Structure 1
Amino acid sequence: MAGLREMKKRRTRDQLVAAALTLIRAQGFDKTTAAQIAEAAELSPRTFFLHFATKEDVLLANAAERTAVGVDAIAARPPGATVDETLLDAVRRMIDHNDSTDVADGLAALRAELIATVPAVRARVAEHALTAQDELADALRAGYGDDLDPIEAAARVGAVVGAVNAAMLAALRLGRSPADQRDAMLRAAEFAIGSEGATSQAR
Structure 2
Amino acid sequence: MPMAEVGLRERKKERTRHTLQREAMRLFTEKGYSETTVAEIAAAADVSTKTLFNYFGSKEDILLAHRRRRIDTLAARLAEHATTMSPRDALLATAEDLLRWLLEGDGESFSTAEQLAQGRLILAVPELRSGALTLLYDAQLRLAAVLHDAYPEALTPVEAAAAVGALIGAMQSAGLSAIARSGSPAETFEAARHAVRVVAGGLDALPPA
- Give the TM-score category using the shorter length: 0.7 to 0.9
Q: TM-score, normalised by structure 1?
A: 0.88
In structure 1, list runs of 5 or more residues that go unmatched: none
Shift of 1:134: 1.5
Equivalent of 2:58 in 28, 48, 54: 54
Q: Once the two structures are superposed, what CA deviation does each residue of 1:124-182 show, in whole Å capped at 9, x if it has no partner? A: 10111111112111111121112111111111111111111111111222232222222
Indicate whether 1:66 and 2:70 are aligned. Answer: yes
Partner in structure 1 of residue 158 of structure 2: 151
Alignment correspondent of 1:192: 199
Check the 8 A contact 1:88/1:190 in 2, yes or no. no
Is residue 67–residue 94 contact of structure 1 (8 Å, CA) maintained in 2? no
The answer to whether the Cα contact below 8 Å between 1:148 and 1:202 also exists between their aligned partners in 2 is no
Correspondence list, 1:80-99, <5 A: 81-99=85-103
Instruction: State the match for 2:121 in structure 1.
Output: 114
Contact 1:88 1:193 in 2 (8 A): yes
Deviation at 1:7, TM superposition (A): 1.9
How far apart are the structure 2 equivalents of 1:40 and 1:172? Answer: 28
Task: Report sequence identity in percent.
Answer: 33
CA distance in 2 between counterparts of 1:4 and 1:22 reads: 27
- Alpha-carbon RMSD across the aligned residues, in angstroms, is 2.3
Gaps of 5+ in 2: none
Equivalent pairs, count: 202
Contact 2:171 2:192 in 1 (8 A): yes
Aligned positions of 1:153-168 closer than 5 A: 153-168=160-175
1:104, 1:3 → 2: CA distance? 24
Q: Judging changes above 3 Å, is the alpha-carbon distance between structure 1 residues 38 and 76 closer, same or farther for their aligned structure 2 residues?
A: same
Greater mean alpha carbon deviation, residues 17-26 or residues 77-86: 77-86
Cα deviation for residue 79 of structure 1 reads 5.3
* 3-state SS of paired residue (1:61): helix
State the partner residue of 2:139: 132
Which contiguous aligned blocks of 4+ residues in structure 1 show a shift greater than 4 angstroms? none
- The reply to whether residue 201 of structure 1 matches residue 207 of structure 2 is yes
